[in-house]
Amino acid sequence: MTTAVLGLQWGDEGKGKITHLLAKDADMVVRFNGGPNAGHTVIDRGVKFGTHLIPAGAFYPNTTSVLSSGMVIDLKILREEWDMLSQHLGWQPRLLIAENAHIIMPYHRELEELEGSGKHFGTTRRGIAPTYRDKAAKVGIRAGDLLHPDIASQRLKLRLALLNREWPDSQGIQSLDAGVLLEEQLSFAGPLLPFIGDATEAIHQAFDSDLNVMFEGAQGTLLDVDHGSYPFVTSSSTTFAGLGNSIGIPMPRVDRRLGVFKAYMTRVGVGPFPTRVSGELEERLRTIGGEFGVTTGRPRECGWLDLVALRYAIQLNGCTGLAITKLDVLSGFDEISVCRSYRLNGKSIEKFPLAAELLEKCEPEYETVSGWGDPISEVRDSAELPKQVMEFVALIERDVGVPVEIISVGPEPEATMMRK
Asked if residue 215 lies in contact with residue 70, where contact means CB atoms within 8 angstroms, the answer is no
Question: H or E segment at 308?
Answer: helix 307-317
- Tell me how far, at minimum, the Cβ of 271 lies from ligand IMO, in Å: 6
Question: In this complex, which beta carbon is closest to ligand IMO, that of residue 127 or of residue 364?
Answer: 127
Question: In this complex, which beta carbon is closest to Mg ion, that of residue 114 or of residue 294?
Answer: 294
User: Which residue of the set 20, 25, 27, 40 is catalytic?
Assistant: 40
List phi, psi (to 5°) of 97.
-110, 120
Question: In this complex, which beta carbon is closest to ligand IMO, that of residue 2 or of residue 234?
Answer: 234
Q: Which does 329 bind (CB under 5 to 8 A by kind): ligand GDP, Mg ion, ligand IMO, none?
A: ligand GDP
Question: In this complex, which beta carbon is closest to Mg ion, that of residue 52 or of residue 142?
Answer: 52
Q: Which does 129 bind (CB under 5 to 8 A by kind): ligand IMO, ligand GDP, Mg ion, none?
A: ligand IMO
- Tell me how far, at minimum, the Cβ of 374 lies from ligand GDP, in Å: 15
Rounded Cα–Cα distance for residues 416 and 289 (Å): 16
Q: Is the dihedral of CA 376, 261, 321, 26 positive or negative?
A: negative
User: Which distant-in-sequence residues (6+ apart) come within 8 Å of 312 by Cβ?
Assistant: 221, 351, 352
Write out the DSSP string of 92-126.
Answer: --EEEEETTSEEPPHHHHHHHHHHTHHHHH---SS
Question: In this complex, which beta carbon is closest to ligand GDP, that of residue 140 or of residue 242?
Answer: 242
Rounded Cα–Cα distance for residues 177 and 184 (Å): 11
234 binds ligand IMO (CB under 6 A): yes
Contacts with ligand GDP, residue ranges (CB under 6 A): 7, 11-17, 39-41, 290, 294, 325-326, 328-329, 408-411
- Tell me how far, at minimum, the Cβ of 268 lies from ligand IMO, in Å: 4
Q: Which does 275 bind (CB under 5 to 8 A by kind): ligand GDP, ligand IMO, Mg ion, none?
A: none
One-letter amino acid at 203 equals I
- Tell me how far, at minimum, the Cβ of 419 lies from ligand GDP, in Å: 14
9 binds ligand IMO (CB under 6 A): no
- Tell me how far, at minimum, the Cβ of 121 lies from ligand IMO, in Å: 6
* Residue of 185, 47, 52, 31 lying closest to 108 (CA atoms): 185
* Interface pick for ligand IMO out of 70, 93, 130, 269 (rule CB under 6 A): 269
Of residues 5-44, which lie at the interface with Mg ion (CB under 5 A)? Answer: 12, 39
Q: Which does 124 bind (CB under 5 to 8 A by kind): ligand GDP, ligand IMO, Mg ion, none?
A: ligand IMO
40 given a catalytic annotation = yes
Peptide bond into 231 cis (omega under 30): yes
Asked if residue 240 lies in contact with residue 313, where contact means CB atoms within 8 angstroms, the answer is no
Overall size of the chain counted in residues: 420
Residue 416 CB coordination number (10 Å): 19
Rounded Cα–Cα distance for residues 283 and 201 (Å): 48
88 given a catalytic annotation = no
- Tell me how far, at minimum, the Cβ of 237 lies from ligand GDP, in Å: 17
Rounded Cα–Cα distance for residues 252 and 206 (Å): 15
Q: Is the dihedral of CA 356, 357, 360, 361 positive or negative?
A: negative
List phi, psi (to 5°) of 132.
-65, -35
Of residues 18-47, which lie at the interface with ligand IMO (CB under 6 A)? Answer: 37-40
Question: In this complex, which beta carbon is closest to ligand IMO, that of residue 155 or of residue 300?
Answer: 300
81 binds Mg ion (CB under 5 A): no
Per-residue interface string for the shown chain with ligand IMO, residues 372-391, x marking contact by CB under 6 A: --------------------
Rounded Cα–Cα distance for residues 204 and 201 (Å): 5
Asked if residue 261 lies in contact with residue 324, where contact means CB atoms within 8 angstroms, the answer is yes
Rounded Cα–Cα distance for residues 277 and 266 (Å): 10
Rounded Cα–Cα distance for residues 89 and 59 (Å): 7
- Tell me how far, at minimum, the Cβ of 300 lies from ligand GDP, in Å: 9
Of residues 103-142, which lie at the interface with ligand IMO (CB under 6 A)? Answer: 121-124, 126, 128-129
Provide the binding-site residues for ligand IMO, judged by CB under 6 A. Answer: 7, 10-12, 37-40, 121-124, 126, 128-129, 218-220, 223, 234-235, 268-269
Residues with catalytic annotation?
A: 12, 40
Provide the binding-site residues for Mg ion, judged by CB under 5 A. Answer: 12, 39, 294
